[in-house]
Amino acid sequence: GAPGEENVLEQRVLRNRYKAKVLDRFPLEDYHDTTLPPQVAMFAHPEGLTCKRAAPLPIFFTIIFTSNEGRRVYASVLTFHDTLPQESLDHMGGRHIELPKGETIWVPKCLCVVSHWPFHEAYKEFLKQLYRLSVSTSRIPLERLICNFMHEVPLPPEGLIRVQYTIADKTVYIQRSPTNVLPASRVAMEVLFTLLDKENVTLLFTCLLLEQKILVFSEKISVLTVVTEALLTLAFPFKWEHVYVPVLPLQLLEFLSAPTPFVIGVHPGSLAHRRQEFLQAAACPDDTVVVDLDHNRIRMPVSHEVPLLPEKQRKKLREHLEMYADVFDPSRKSLVMVDLAFPMAPTPEESDAKVETKWNGQQLQYSFLRVFLSMLQRYKEYLVMPTAEDPQPERLFRKEKFLEHCPKESRRFLSQFLDTSMFGIFIEHRIFEGSKDSEHIFFDEAIEAKSNRSALRFSKKPTPFLDDKLKAVTRTHVVIAPNDEGLSESSYTYETFPSMKPSLFCLPREIRSLVTGELQNRKASMQQQHTSALGSLQRYQRLPSFDTASVTKLTVSKSPSTTTSQQMRETVYGTWFLLHMIVTGEGDKSDARDQMELVFHILNRMRDETLQPDAASYHAVLEACGRAGVPDRALLVLEGMQTRGLRPDASVFGTIMKAVASSPGEQLPAFQSSPMARRSPTASWTREDSEHARGAVSPSPLLIGGSDLPPEPTSPSEGSLEPFAAHALALSPRLEPPKLSPSGAPPAGDVANFTPSGRH
């Protein structure tokens, strides 16, 4: 092409970044109780979409985010590249662009499976085979393969039975661990110990237990989820209850200034030239633990000191890591191709260069469990159980008494650990649900088993739960083959991944639940509300009820100066927020923005009258920010919560993510240094001086393959049933011509502003 055309191609097509959009999905429409989360498209392409002159090899990674209901969502993503049609290229350039002979412009597309079940390897193999079949000839159309995987693969029980699923020439096994063994790692835990040495893994483990802000950084996008999932697995039986986003979209970099603990992963991609700025100052407050996986470095917070694990437990753990996890590889050669969906075979030189390593994943997990068994061996003696006189004791654990009987060198660490949310929730569940919760039974019997091995204990206590071998996996269920009835063609060939044809889908056949043993008629459940083993996602949360007992309890808990009138005013305001926010943003966006101005005016009035909005009101306002197209205002809401003493939890950040994703024409503020930290904590709920950029109109989404969300898993004891990935979708992206930005492409140095913001 001519020099002018080359300039247009470079400035208006290749340099621009586009937001992502779901182009195809399964099921084709939301179920009655299940809706497609708008965050999926943004997370599947966390750095936006860019056109390329050469097509990279397909990659695979897993993303995890929290829904606004507080539920963890897993999405497996296979990204590949397809050719950009000439008409789309012309539309993007604003004129006809004649490419040099033989040159092609490539655009990314992706296939996703989304679920509340973390069967990552099964999803990966399914997507790989689906992609392979899309570039070859198949006897069965892709639509039938999707129906088979989504509707006719039963959820395996915990132990007892594994599920065998075959697609093309690949067979995978899906199983869940028995409840009386350590839960199997959902990821390749070896990657964590390959990237970080034993000292840094121990340090990172300590930071997690003390609920620090943890930022994990790597050029390899797939290792971010693998490493963070492995880290959380090692904390068993304790659970991370705070913000958890292993792959953070660049639109959400301001989350790194969040006033709450988090575990967040960042993949800078093309921003590598700003790596040091990013790590040292640009987006990392000084209270954050920064983990550079590519160089085995951890930057500890400068604002406060983090105590180490007690010496006794730290020394023992180090010995075990030498025996069971000696795989650290400073060269990272074993992970060069870790992102590739289809890794290439190693060369003979690479095969010969492999060194002897020590790895035992099961013993490794038990080594970390031993840390808790040792530190908390006598924790049950300090529980405060409910009584008839005090059915809901204010304190559930006698921390001071427990610390008195601990070695002095352990007290500094334990004093902080006993104040964490993960320990508090563990104790609460132990007291109120411990007799029937398998994880607590496992932990208590593991303590007894450890004590039984001591030469000082002459009378051994029984551990029937741990000793029960009947829960072991001994049987295999083979999934039925895809339904080939009614197909008119003998084979199906595709030039690229196709759009789904509804006529090729089929109704699911009856399968027997492996959890309840009952026959499941999926035909009926497709038209009605689900009562399945995966549970359900309600499209709208129920409004909280305000009964007399709760108001009375709230009044008693307040100081004598707090009047019943104030309580009633807060209740009236809260009800107004909930009712008003349901309809805000459903119509004209300009009207919705005006409505949001009223909302922030009401928040200011409540502040002036020393009235406190409740958590439900804040959630409603956050969701409305997205529907109204003002997601940047959600950050002000977050700061207001912090100022008023409400600590945001994972569900709050899930709601903010939904607000950002629900507003395709707007985005969060540009990449900058700790913007939230610079704002006044007493600022009013008013529009900031930094208005949206003028004259830059966001291009329409270029392309993406997106996915649909399966219901939340519930306990198998409820007698419900459901295939394990019933509504996780496979999708075929297709290209849509974007709207051209009048101002052209953004500056090459832009980081987070990969979609120019502006009014539509």
Token pair listed for 532: 């399945």
Q: Reduced to 3 states, what is the DSSP secondary structure of residue 458?
A: coil
| pLDDT score, position 161 | 94
| pLDDT score, position 98 | 81
Q: pLDDT tens digits for 635-653?
A: 778 777 877 777 777 778 7
Give residue 683's identity as a one-letter amino acid code: A
Q: 78 versus 756: which is more confidently predicted? A: 78
Residue 526 near residue 505 (C-beta atoms within 8 A): no
Please enumerate in sequence order all residues whose Cβ is within 8 A of that of 339, keeping only pairs 6 or more positions apart, or say none. Answer: 59, 60, 61, 220, 221, 222
Q: What is the enclosing helix (H) or strand (E) of 213? A: strand 213-217
Q: Which of 95, 173, 78, 179 is nearest to 132 (CA)?
A: 78
Residue 253 near residue 285 (C-beta atoms within 8 A): no
| pLDDT score, position 563 | 56
| pLDDT score, position 167 | 95
Per-residue three-class SS string for 299-343: ECCCCCCCCCCCHHHHHHHHHHHHHHEECCCCCCHHHCCCCECCC
What size, in residues, is the chain? 760
Intervals of CATH 3.40.50.11500 along the chain = 190-359
CB under 8 A, 24+ apart: contacts of 27-32: 27/526, 27/708, 27/727, 27/729, 28/500, 28/502, 28/505, 30/539, 30/708, 31/526, 31/529, 31/530, 31/727, 32/527, 32/528, 32/529, 32/530
For the residues 483-509, what does the mean pLDDT come to? 89
Q: Check residue 659 and give left, alpha or beta (phi > 0: left; psi -120 to 50: alpha).
A: alpha
What CA–CA distance (Å, rounded) separates 267 from 224?
A: 8
What CA–CA distance (Å, rounded) separates 306 from 321?
A: 22
Max Cα separation, the chain? Answer: 89
Q: Beta strands 137-138 and 106-115: pairing type? A: unpaired
Q: pLDDT tens digits for 573-598?
A: 888 877 776 666 565 666 777 778 88
The CATH architecture assigned to 190-359 reads 3-Layer(aba) Sandwich (3.40)
Q: 357 versus 396: which is more confidently predicted? A: 396
What CA–CA distance (Å, rounded) separates 487 from 140?
A: 8
Q: Is the dihedral of CA 191, 197, 198, 199 positive or negative?
A: negative
| pLDDT score, position 641 | 81
Model confidence at 730, pLDDT cuts 50, 70, 90, reads very low
Q: What share of the chain is helix, strand, coil (3-state, %, to 5)?
A: 40, 10, 50
Q: List phi, psi (to 5°) of 577.
A: -55, -50
My answer on whether omega of the bond before 648 falls inside 30° of 0, hence cis, is: no
For the residues 295-319, what does the mean pLDDT come to? 93
Residue 701 near residue 736 (C-beta atoms within 8 A): yes
Distance of CA 300 to the CA centre of its chain: 24
Q: Beta strands 475-478 and 262-266: pairing type? A: unpaired
My answer on whether omega of the bond before 710 falls inside 30° of 0, hence cis, is: no
Average pLDDT, the chain: 77
Q: Reduced to 3 states, what is the DSSP secondary structure of residue 84?
A: coil
| pLDDT score, position 659 | 74
Q: Specify the range with the lowest mean pLDDT, choosing from 52-66, 381-395, 461-475, 615-629.
A: 615-629
Strand residues in 407-510 grouped as ranges (E): 475-478, 492-493
Distance of CA 474 to the CA centre of its chain: 32
Q: Could you say which DSSP state residue 278 is in?
A: I
Q: What is the enclosing helix (H) or strand (E) of 75? A: strand 72-83
Q: Beta strands 475-478 and 492-493: pairing type? A: unpaired
Q: Which residues pair with 466 in a beta bridge?
A: none
Q: Beta strands 358-359 and 325-326: pairing type? A: antiparallel
Give the full edge-to-edge strand order of the sheet including 161-167.
170-174, 161-167, 475-478
| pLDDT score, position 355 | 59
Q: Check residue 562 and give left, alpha or beta (phi > 0: left; psi -120 to 50: alpha).
A: beta
Q: pLDDT tens digits for 92-150?
A: 777 788 888 888 889 999 999 998 899 999 999 999 999 999 988 889 999 999 999 99
Q: Which residues pair with 161 in a beta bridge?
A: 475
Q: pLDDT tens digits for 533-573?
A: 233 223 333 333 333 333 333 333 444 444 578 878 888 88
Q: Specify the range with the lowest mean pLDDT, choosing from 51-55, 58-62, 350-354, 596-600.
A: 350-354
What CA–CA distance (Å, rounded) separates 300 from 287?
A: 8
What CA–CA distance (Å, rounded) separates 145 from 506?
A: 10
Q: List phi, psi (to 5°) of 606.
A: -60, -40
Q: 458 versus 419: which is more confidently predicted? A: 419
Q: pLDDT tens digits for 266-275?
A: 987 645 445 5
Token pair listed for 182: 């350590």
What CA–CA distance (Å, rounded) separates 451 from 438?
A: 20
Q: Which of 585, 657, 580, 659 is nearest to 613 (CA)?
A: 580
What CA–CA distance (Å, rounded) separates 512 from 517?
A: 6
Model confidence at 712, pLDDT cuts 50, 70, 90, reads very low
What CA–CA distance (Å, rounded) separates 603 from 622?
A: 13
Q: Which residues pair with 290 in a beta bridge?
A: 215, 299
Using CA atoms of 695, 700, 703, 709 in order, give the dihedral in degrees to the nearest 10.
120
Residue 737 near residue 91 (C-beta atoms within 8 A): yes
Q: Beta strands 106-115 and 72-83: pairing type? A: antiparallel
- pLDDT of 717 > 80? The answer is no
